[in-house]
């Protein structure tokens, strides 16, 4: 039986990257917390920053559930908590890119709509709605595919059986990430629209870069999953 093990080189590399990501995200979160009342943090989104960074911290802490022999509990964590965290983060980035454009372009044309957006906490309603929608998508995915670990033969070595959470992970990944991809496209569109804004609001450029990187990594992941079906693919169960 084959599965990801801690002493393997790919697992060590992923663990190091995960630890660096966790520490850097935690450092940013602490800095934002200590300087919460400053104009810089307020202009960056204020409380929305914590809603964006906290799920990332949780996602990094889920790395251990991808290592070792999969169980029902670890499979549920893989297919639920990580994708929830990522969706919340992407939804926050999307609504932030919308607000950047909205302040300068839409507020002047539709002042009443913008007033309703601010009064009824539109950003948080949007994130909550996207999260609820993702809950429905993941629940549907769990109903279609079992969360119990399964074993299938390694195409490169028929004598080796690979343990994974989802035998149809190719379809599962596409189904669970469809909302994230849609949000990233919308966020990229808004951010690209706001690329000509004043320098003080140049975060639109960084959002555009991040969404471009997400597209590239998604294409690379799909390509990797198409040409390789070994044990390393189980980390994306």
- Asked, for residue 185, whether it belongs to a domain, the answer is yes
- CA pair distance 192, 203, nearest whole angstrom: 11
Torsion of CA 106, 111, 112, 116, to 10 degrees: 60
- Look up residue 27 and give its DSSP letter: H
- Asked, for residue 19, whether it belongs to a domain, the answer is no
Residues 6+ apart with CB under 8 A from 98: 186, 187, 190
- Asked, for residue 97, whether it belongs to a domain, the answer is yes
- CA pair distance 191, 136, nearest whole angstrom: 28
Contact between residue 57 and residue 22 where contact means Cβ atoms under 8 Å apart = yes
Average pLDDT, the chain: 78
- CA pair distance 233, 173, nearest whole angstrom: 11
- Asked, for residue 56, whether it belongs to a domain, the answer is no
Contact between residue 210 and residue 52 where contact means Cβ atoms under 8 Å apart = no
- CA pair distance 7, 9, nearest whole angstrom: 7
CA count, 13 A, side-chain hemisphere, 69: 5
Q: List the Cα angle 228/229/232 in 5-degree steps.
A: 90
What is the predicted pLDDT for the residue at 30? 92
Residues 6+ apart with CB under 8 A from 182: none
Contact between residue 148 and residue 75 where contact means Cβ atoms under 8 Å apart = yes
Contact between residue 137 and residue 80 where contact means Cβ atoms under 8 Å apart = no
What is the predicted pLDDT for the residue at 156? 67
- Asked, for residue 59, whether it belongs to a domain, the answer is no
- Asked, for residue 41, whether it belongs to a domain, the answer is no
**Per-residue confidence band for 168, with pLDDT thresholds at 50, 70 and 90:** low
Lowest mean pLDDT among 4-13, 182-191, 222-231: 222-231
- Asked, for residue 28, whether it belongs to a domain, the answer is no
Containing structural domain, residue 97 = 70-236
For 17-40, write each residue's pLDDT tens digit. Answer: 989 999 999 999 999 898 888 887
Contact between residue 190 and residue 100 where contact means Cβ atoms under 8 Å apart = yes
Which of 50, 48, 38, 44 has the alpha carbon at shortest distance from 200? 44
For 114-166, write each residue's pLDDT tens digit. Answer: 788 878 888 899 999 999 999 888 888 777 776 677 776 666 666 767 777 76
Q: List the Cα angle 85/182/44 in 5-degree steps.
A: 60
SS3 50: helix
The total number of structural domains that make up the chain: 1
- Asked, for residue 126, whether it belongs to a domain, the answer is yes
What is the predicted pLDDT for the residue at 231? 47
């Amino acid at each position: 039986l084959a599965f990801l093990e801690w002493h393997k080189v790919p697992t060590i590399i992923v663990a190091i990257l995960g630890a660096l990501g966790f520490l850097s995200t935690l450092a940013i979160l602490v800095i934002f917390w200590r300087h919460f009342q400053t104009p810089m943090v307020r202009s960056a989104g204020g409380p929305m920053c914590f809603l964006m960074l906290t799920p990332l911290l949780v996602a990094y802490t889920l790395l251990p559930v991808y290592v070792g022999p999969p169980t029902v509990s670890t499979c549920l964590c893989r297919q639920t908590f990580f994708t929830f965290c990522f969706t919340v983060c992407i939804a926050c980035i999307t609504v932030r890119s919308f607000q950047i454009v909205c302040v300068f372009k839409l507020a002047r044309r539709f002042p009443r709509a913008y007033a309703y957006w601010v009064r009824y906490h539109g950003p948080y309603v949007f994130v909550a709605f996207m999260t609820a929608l993702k809950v429905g998508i993941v629940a549907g995915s769990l109903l279609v595919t079992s969360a119990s670990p399964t074993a299938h033969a390694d195409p490169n070595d028929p004598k080796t059986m690979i343990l994974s959470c989802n035998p149809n992970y190719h379809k599962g990944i596409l189904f669970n990430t469809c909302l994230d991809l849609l949000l990233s496209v919308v966020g990229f569109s808004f951010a690209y629209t706001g690329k000509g804004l004043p320098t003080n609001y140049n975060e639109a450029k960084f959002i555009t870069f991040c969404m471009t990187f997400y597209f590239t990594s998604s294409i690379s992941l799909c390509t990797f999953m198409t040409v390789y079906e070994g044990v390393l693919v189980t980390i994306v169960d």
